[in-house]
Amino acid sequence: MTVQHNLEPLLVTRGLSRRFGGLRAVDGVDFTLMPGEIRAVIGPNGAGKTTFVGMVCGRIARSDGAVLFDGQDISDLPAHRRARLGIAYTFQITSIYPNLSVYDNVALPVQRTAREPRAIRAAVMAALEKVGLDGRAAMPAGQLAYGHQRLLEVAMGLALKPRLLILDEPTQGLSDAEIEDFIVLVRDIARTATVLLIEHNMPLVMQLADRITVFEAGRILAEGTPEQIRANAAVQAAYLGTEAGAEP
C-alpha cells in the first residue's frame, strides 16, 4: 500500500441501518476505518456488532445507508463480489468444510484466483503455516480441535489475500495459550491487511487494537484509542462498568 493510499479511508459507512421488524438492530451508523488499522468493535450482546459487519461484507442486506470500500460504493454488490474486492469474513460460529481435508478447505479460496497447481499448493501451505496448521494439512477439518478449526477459518480468510479481514469473535472458546498465539497472529496479519475485530475479551482488545468502536443498541456509543475508551464514563456505564463490577 502506498503512502498516498493511507490518507484515504479503506472502509466508510454512512447512515448504515438494519431493521428487523420494529427492532433497529443497526441504526444510522457512520463509521470510518483507515488502512493498516487494527480496529476492535465491542459492545454488549445484541448491540448490533455482527449485523453491522454482516452488512459490510454483504451477508446481511441493509435497510438504509451506504457502504464504501476504497472509495467505491459497494452497497448493492452481492457478498461474493465484495469478497473478490478483498473483504474477507470469518464467522462467529465456526464455518468450515468439516468433510474436506484441511488442505482442501484452504485450496478453495486459493483456487479462485490461482490456476497453476504448484502456485495453489504454495499459497495453501503459506496460509496454513501462518496459523501453524501446516502439519495437519491432510486431516479432515472436522477432526481438528475447536481452537484449530477457528485458526483454519482465519487461514481461509488469509488465503483470499484480503485487504480487510473481519474477525467475528475469533477467540471465543480458545484457551489462554491459544489466545497468546492469536495476538501474535493478528499483529502479523495487520502488516498486510486491515483488521476489523469483534471481540468480548477486553484484555485482548486493549492490547491489540489501535482504536476501539463501542456499539450499544445499534448505535456507536464511543470511539477512540484503548486509553480513551477505558476512561470514557458512558462506556463504563454501558459495558465495562458491568464487567468490572462483576469481577472482584
Partner 1 sequence: MSGEHKPAKAYALHLAVLALLFALNFLLPAYHHGLLARIMVLAVFAMGYNLLFGYAGLLSLGHAMFFAAGMYGAGLSVLHFGFAVPLAFLAGIACGALLALVVGLLALRTSGVAFMIVTMMFAQVFALSLIYFAGFTGGDQGLVIPQPARLFGVGSATIDLTDPAVRYMAALALFAVALLVTLHLVRSRHGRVLVAIRENEERTRMLGYDTFANKLAVTVVSGAISAAAGAAFALLFGYVGANFAGVQYSILPLLWVLLGGAATTLGPLLGTLVIYVITDTASSFTSAWLLIVGIVLILLVLFFPKGVLGTLRARWLGWLP
By CB under 8 A, the residues from 20 to 49 that bind partner 1 are none
92 binds partner 1 (CB under 8 A): no
132 binds partner 1 (CB under 8 A): no
The Cα–Cα gap between 218 and 215 comes to: 6
Among 108, 183, 190, 240, binds partner 1 (CB under 8 A): 108
Other Cβ atoms within 10 Å of 137 Cβ, number = 18
Nearer to partner 1, 100 or 183 (CB): 100
111 binds partner 1 (CB under 8 A): yes
| Residues 220 and 43 sit within 8 Å (Cβ to Cβ) | no
121 binds partner 1 (CB under 8 A): no
Q: What is the smallest separation between the CB atom of 192 and partner 1, expressed in angstroms? A: 18
Q: What is the smallest separation between the CB atom of 102 and partner 1, expressed in angstroms? A: 13
Q: Let me know how many helices (H) and strands (E) the chain has, helices first.
A: 11, 10
Q: What is the smallest separation between the CB atom of 241 and partner 1, expressed in angstroms? A: 35
By CB under 8 A, the residues from 152 to 171 that bind partner 1 are 156, 160
96 binds partner 1 (CB under 8 A): yes
| Residues 152 and 109 sit within 8 Å (Cβ to Cβ) | no
107 binds partner 1 (CB under 8 A): yes
Among 66, 79, 179, 240, binds partner 1 (CB under 8 A): 79
Q: Which stretch binds partner 1 (CB under 8 A): 35-43, 66-74, 92-100, 208-216?
A: 92-100
Q: How many CA atoms lie within 13 A of 5 on its CB side?
A: 10
Q: What is the smallest separation between the CB atom of 247 and partner 1, expressed in angstroms? A: 35
Q: Which stretch binds partner 1 (CB under 8 A): 11-19, 69-77, 83-91, 129-137?
A: 83-91
172 binds partner 1 (CB under 8 A): no
The Cα–Cα gap between 36 and 7 comes to: 11
Please name the residues in contact with 137: beta carbons below 8 A apart, sequence gap of 6 or more: 101, 102, 103, 124, 125, 128
Nearer to partner 1, 79 or 206 (CB): 79
Residues contacting partner 1: total by CB under 8 A:
27
The Cα–Cα gap between 204 and 137 comes to: 29
Please name the residues in contact with 115: beta carbons below 8 A apart, sequence gap of 6 or more: none
Q: Cell match 495487520: residue?
A: 190
What is the per-residue DSSP string for 160-210?
Answer: T--SEEEEESTTTT--HHHHHHHHHHHHHHTTTSEEEEE---HHHHHHH-S
Which chain residues interact with partner 1 by CB under 8 A? Answer: 57, 59, 78-81, 83-84, 88-89, 91, 95-101, 104, 107-109, 111-112, 115, 156, 160
